[in-house]
């Protein structure tokens, strides 16, 4: 139990430290504000998963680990519902692009209620991955990587690559979809290699992994708004089950 407690403290410290570091860099003008938000979105999941091997084989270790994103999700709920005030959290979660030439500007209102959708669903995806899948499930790892690496990279690609709108969703771009597939595939490959090297799980074939990345890009391209934080990992979970992953 001492090992799990130390692992939990390390997980919480890294999660909070990473968030505050990104906020600090953004507040000092080191990065564009939208980019700061995406770095948080992309990096939180991998940092969380890198902590998983620190825990013991106890049945409750996954539950203990999942309590870290669960507490963050409760904070989103409390602030979004108006129970507590945290203007910095609202600002961090609401920042987006203000360039009118971007096909998908997704102009956010800056209201605290926005925390009740995207951020809450993002936190719940982390809770589910740890509590239900844990480090022996390729499906859980790929689902979280698709959410962080795929969805996060899609928005960056929409900014940086040629802005060719998709025919079925004019608010999304071809560059964003390509970035989503690439981000999901690369991050999934890296994390599966990490866990596979430690002997926790087997690594699915690159062909199946590419299929999951393309599925992630397809879901991300749909007009789901903040609900893609739930739809994307859920789609990967279904894909993993169909592919016979654990």
Domain residue spans in the chain?
2-243
**pLDDT digit string, tens, across residues 59-87:** 899 999 999 999 999 998 988 888 887 77
- DSSP class of residue 53 equals G
What is the rounded CA–CA span in Å between residue 233 and residue 122? Answer: 10
**Confidence (pTM):** 0.89
Per-residue pLDDT at 95 exceeds 50: no
Percent of the chain with pLDDT over 90: 62
> Which two structure tokens, joined as six digits, stand for 100?
């009118």
For 166, the 3-state DSSP assignment is: strand
CA distance 67 to 202: 26
Query: What is the rounded distance in angstroms from the CA atom of residue 183 to the CA atom of residue 43?
Result: 12
Q: Are 106 and 97 in contact (CB under 8 A)?
A: yes
Q: DSSP states of 67-135 as a string?
A: HHHHHHHHHHHHHHTTSS--HHHHHHHH-----TTSS--------GGGGGTHHHHHHHHHHHIIIIIGG
Type and span of the H or E element at 46: helix 33-50
Q: What pLDDT score was predicted for residue 108?
A: 52
**96 pLDDT higher than 80:** no
State the sign of the Cα–Cα–Cα–Cα dihedral 213, 217, 160, 98. negative
Residue 209 corresponds to which tokens in the numbers above?
A: 């992994």
Pairwise CA distance, residues 64 & 58, whole Å: 10
* Mean predicted confidence (pLDDT) in 186-213: 94
Residue with tokens 């997704």: 106
Q: Looking at the chain, how many residues does it have?
A: 246
Give residue-wise pLDDT tens across range 137-173.
999 999 999 999 999 999 888 888 888 999 999 989 9
Beta partners for residue 173, in sequence order: 165
pLDDT at 93: 61
pLDDT at residue 94, rounded to an integer: 55
pLDDT of residue 91: 67
Give the SS3 label for residue 173: strand
For the cut 50, the answer to whether the pLDDT of residue 102 exceeds it is no
Question: In this predicted structure, what is the pLDDT of residue 101?
Answer: 36
Residue 234 has pLDDT above 90, yes or no: yes
Is the pLDDT at 181 greater than 90, yes or no?
yes
Contacts of 203 (CB under 8 A, 6+ apart): 138, 192, 193, 196
């Amino acid at each position: 139990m001492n090992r799990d407690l130390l692992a939990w403290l390390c997980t919480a410290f890294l999660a909070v430290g990473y968030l505050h570091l990104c906020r600090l860099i953004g507040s000092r003008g080191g990065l564009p504000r939208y980019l700061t938000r995406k770095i948080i979105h992309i990096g939180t999941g991998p940092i969380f998963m890198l902590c998983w091997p620190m825990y013991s084989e106890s049945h409750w270790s996954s539950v203990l680990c999942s309590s870290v994103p669960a507490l963050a999700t409760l904070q989103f709920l409390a602030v979004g519902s108006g129970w507590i005030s945290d203007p910095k959290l609202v600002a961090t979660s609401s920042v987006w692009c203000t360039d009118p030439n971007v096909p998908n500007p997704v102009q956010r209102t800056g209201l605290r209620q926005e925390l009740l959708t995207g951020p809450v669903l993002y936190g719940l995806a982390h809770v589910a991955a740890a509590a239900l899948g844990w480090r022996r499930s390729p499906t859980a790892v790929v689902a979280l990587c698709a959410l962080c690496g795929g969805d996060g990279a899609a928005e960056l690609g929409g900014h940086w690559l040629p802005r060719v709108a998709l025919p079925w969703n004019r608010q999304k771009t071809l560059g964003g979809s390509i970035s989503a597939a690439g981000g999901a595939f690369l991050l999934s490959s890296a994390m599966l290699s990490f866990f596979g090297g430690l002997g926790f799980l087997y690594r699915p074939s690159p062909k199946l992994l590419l299929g999951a990345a393309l599925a992630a890009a397809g879901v991300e391209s749909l007009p789901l708004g903040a609900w893609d934080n739930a739809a994307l990992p859920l789609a990967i979970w279904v894909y993993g089950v169909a592919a016979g992953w654990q």
